[in-house]
């Protein structure tokens, strides 16, 4: 009776017949995208709780007899609430997992060539989602307004200022003037809780809409070779109710894992670092893992490397913090257009049958991992020049060796279903 009432007004049966019967592949790697989506849902739920208690202001208030910024004081009070610290940790670790899940999802798409026609647009959407997710984590980094978070954010401020010709304008736009100022925290709070979630909502909706329209790529197995040759429908289970039950169960399992991590792995203790103050000193900094690549690249650039182009000054911060990330994202964005397919691709390709692209991905992954290691050269007592040599040798070897082995493998293999690279 209730369903009929809503169906007469919203045409739910038409929606059910058209969308809820869509096929969802049963291969476990297709759940990587769901991990990112579920993490985003957890971020929204915990973010609403934190938003009710957080005060986005740097004006000074009294906390235990000391005058500290309101933002810092509100986070300390959240940590003192029953479950307050756990919820804040769940929010933090959900952000880490979301960024990692999107990256893993992009890697699966890359190594199986699932970015090819007609899915180029969704590859760009996913890449944008990953970039904005990292920016969301960055804007949230400042909000506790501790000495640690302010010092870490100041690095990005000076990196933004290093952009030739328009650096000062970009820095003042993002940071609401000079950093730090009374307007910076409200600006970051607005971006973190309103602007960025709207962008993420829109991109996730666009991603799902394109996905429903184009369908997933299907794993190619002996069971469905004839299906692939005949161009038949994908093999899987309906979204409703089978996949819905699996997804709901998976979400609660993921939430349990995140809660377990939040219970035993602490965040940066803001009470230890204290609020920002001129006499507080500069804490030892190490960014979260998703920024360690840029941080490590900056470590390898000579500090005196600086030159001018058309009146714009190029500094080490410009090269490592602006040019390198921009070129990296550009390379990722161009992949579907450089490795094209003439006909629409319905099934994933075997990475072993694509020597060049697979070895290129392995070499690129090793290069980025070496940059993460470069972020610790002060701890490892390695000079920048030595680390540069290690990085080049490891990256080239990780590209050339798999390429030669895969070429040899493809020459020797006989029979089977050959997916052209």
The per-residue b/e assignment along 77-106, b for 16 or more CB within 10 angstroms, e otherwise, is: ebbeeeebbebbbbbbbbbbbbbbbbbebb
Q: What are phi and psi of 112, to 5 degrees?
A: -105, 5
pLDDT of residue 14: 67
For residue 211 the two structure tokens come to 């996905």
Sign of CA dihedral 12, 16, 18, 24: positive
pLDDT of residue 172: 95
Domain spanning 23-269+289-349: CATH superfamily: Cytochrome Bc1 Complex; Chain C (1.20.810.10)
CA gap 150, 281 in Å, rounded? 12
CA gap 282, 192 in Å, rounded? 25
pTM > 0.85: yes or no: yes
**10-residue averages of pLDDT along the chain (421 residues):** 72 67 75 93 96 95 93 95 93 96 96 93 96 96 92 92 94 93 95 96 93 78 52 66 86 95 86 78 76 94 90 93 95 94 86 95 97 94 96 97 94 59 49
CA gap 154, 152 in Å, rounded? 5
Cis omega (within 30 of 0) on the bond before 211? Answer: no
CA gap 53, 71 in Å, rounded? 10
Cα→Cα distances 365→158, 358, 372, 395, Å = 28, 11, 11, 8
Residue ranges of domains in the chain = 23-269+289-349, 350-421
CA gap 409, 392 in Å, rounded? 26
CA gap 404, 399 in Å, rounded? 9
């Amino acid at each position: 009776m209730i369903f009929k009432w809503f169906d007469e007004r919203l045409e739910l049966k038409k929606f059910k017949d058209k969308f809820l019967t869509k096929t969802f592949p049963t291969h476990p790697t297709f759940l990587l995208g769901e991990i990112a989506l579920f993490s985003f849902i957890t971020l929204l739920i915990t973010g609403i709780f934190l938003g009710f208690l957080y005060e986005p202001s740097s004006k000074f208030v009294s906390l235990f007899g000391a005058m500290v910024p309101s933002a810092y004081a509100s986070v300390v009070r959240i940590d003192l609430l029953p479950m307050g610290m756990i919820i804040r940790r769940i929010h933090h670790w959900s952000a880490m997992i979301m960024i990692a899940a999107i990256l893993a999802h992009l890697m699966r798409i890359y190594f199986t060539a699932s970015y090819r026609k007609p899915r180029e647009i969704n590859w760009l959407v996913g890449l944008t989602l990953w970039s904005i997710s990292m920016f969301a984590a960055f804007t949230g980094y400042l909000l506790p307004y501790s000495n640690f978070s302010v010092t870490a954010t100041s690095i990005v401020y000076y990196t933004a200022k290093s952009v030739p010709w328009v650096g000062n304008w970009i820095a003042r736009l993002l940071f609401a003037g000079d950093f730090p100022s009374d307007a910076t925290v409200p600006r970051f709070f607005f971006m973190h809780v309103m602007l960025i979630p709207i962008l993420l909502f829109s991109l996730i909706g666009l991603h799902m809409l394109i996905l429903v329209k184009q369908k997933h790529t299907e794993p190619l197995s002996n069971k469905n070779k004839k299906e692939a040759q005949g161009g038949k429908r994908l093999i899987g289970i309906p979204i409703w109710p089978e996949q819905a039950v699996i997804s709901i169960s998976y979400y609660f399992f993921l939430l349990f894992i995140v809660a377990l991590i939040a219970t035993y792995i602490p965040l940066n203790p803001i009470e230890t670092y204290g609020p920002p103050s001129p006499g507080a000193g500069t804490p030892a900094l190490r960014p979260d893992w998703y920024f360690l690549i840029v941080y490590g690249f900056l470590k390898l650039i000579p500090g005196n490397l600086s030159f001018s182009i058309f009146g714009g000054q190029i500094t080490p911060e410009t090269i490592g913090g602006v040019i390198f990330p921009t070129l990296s994202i550009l390379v990722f964005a161009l992949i579907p257009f450089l490795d094209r397919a003439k006909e629409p691709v319905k099934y994933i390709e075997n990475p072993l049958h694509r020597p060049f692209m697979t070895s290129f991905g392995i070499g690129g992954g090793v290069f980025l991992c070496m940059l993460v290691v470069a972020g610790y050269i002060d701890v490892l007592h390695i000079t920048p020049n030595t680390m540069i040599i290690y990085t080049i040798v490891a990256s080239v070897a990780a590209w050339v060796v798999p390429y030669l082995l895969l070429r040899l493998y493809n020459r020797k293999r006989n029979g089977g279903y050959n997916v052209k690279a």
